[in-house]
Structure 1
């Protein structure tokens, strides 16, 4: 059900990606990003990108990459997106659990989310249930289209 994302998978995932970045509620990505730019960001500048599919339907995706280099290269970073029709069905939890297993296989010892928008309480609470801690909060770090400036959390989990 979860596999390495192909370029064809990304083409099917693109409407979800585009909708999420255009809403500007959870990701600090350019809302005018092209499909090519998005593919490079999500699939090429990472260790791996994964997709969760049910038949031809893309339910969600995540990328996994090093958060830093050198002496901090044991910490990885992930980003997750879930298709609108799949929300509330455990897809994000499944993707996160899979990402932790993959991270350990790749030699990472910890996972850090650099910017979890505080108003995204569904994500914040899910990550906390999965063992992530808020290790810092950046005041007014995210310009939300409806709420104005909101805080952003740095969340962390030791995997080993």
Structure 2
């Protein structure tokens, strides 16, 4: 697997992943009916942000990540990131590789920490992955996410010092 910076040619492979995952409404606070223009604007951040794809030996996009400062101004020393793996490629280490890439990027860019603002507590695979990489849950906002089948569930704020 290769992780590289997104090019314009990658968007046609990224968009179906984003569309499917956001439409499911189980793991992201993005609108379930998010259109392509909004998705592209959110997922491809301007500098100092970065977007990447994980591809296999044939160039198939397996997943994608975006990395950016978590806040502006006096909070810009903390980074954030988001990850989406194509459902048919989940459970094969793509998410771990993307998260590791994001952590390496943040360290190289001089960030002091990485913070995830809204990790759905029922997304147990993601929570376990982030914990295995050293993230801690520093708080949970109760009932902050309306899951399509589990009702109102909490959103974790997760953090790691770099």
What TM-score does the superposition give when structure 1 sets the normalisation length? 0.96
Aligned residues: 159
Residue 29 of structure 1 is matched in structure 2 by 30
Deviation >3 Å, runs of 4+: none
Residue in 1 that maps onto 2:13? 12
Looking at structure 1, the residues matched to 22 and 60 of structure 2 have their Cα atoms a distance apart, in angstroms, of 20
Report if the CA contact (8 A) 2:79-2:111 is conserved: yes
Q: Matches of residues 52-63 of structure 1 in structure 2 within 5 Å?
A: 52-54=54-56, 55-63=58-66
Matches within 5 A, 1:83-98: 83-98=86-101
Task: Give the equivalent residue in structure 2 for 1:139.
Answer: 142
Q: CA deviation at 1:64?
A: 0.5
Deviation for aligned residue 1:17: 0.7
TM, length-normalised to structure 2: 0.94
Q: 3-state DSSP class of the match of 2:97? A: helix
RMSD: 1.1
User: Higher mean Cα deviation, 53-62 or 41-50?
Assistant: 41-50
Deviates more, 1:44-53 or 1:144-153: 44-53
Report the Cα offset of residue 45 of structure 1. Answer: 4.6
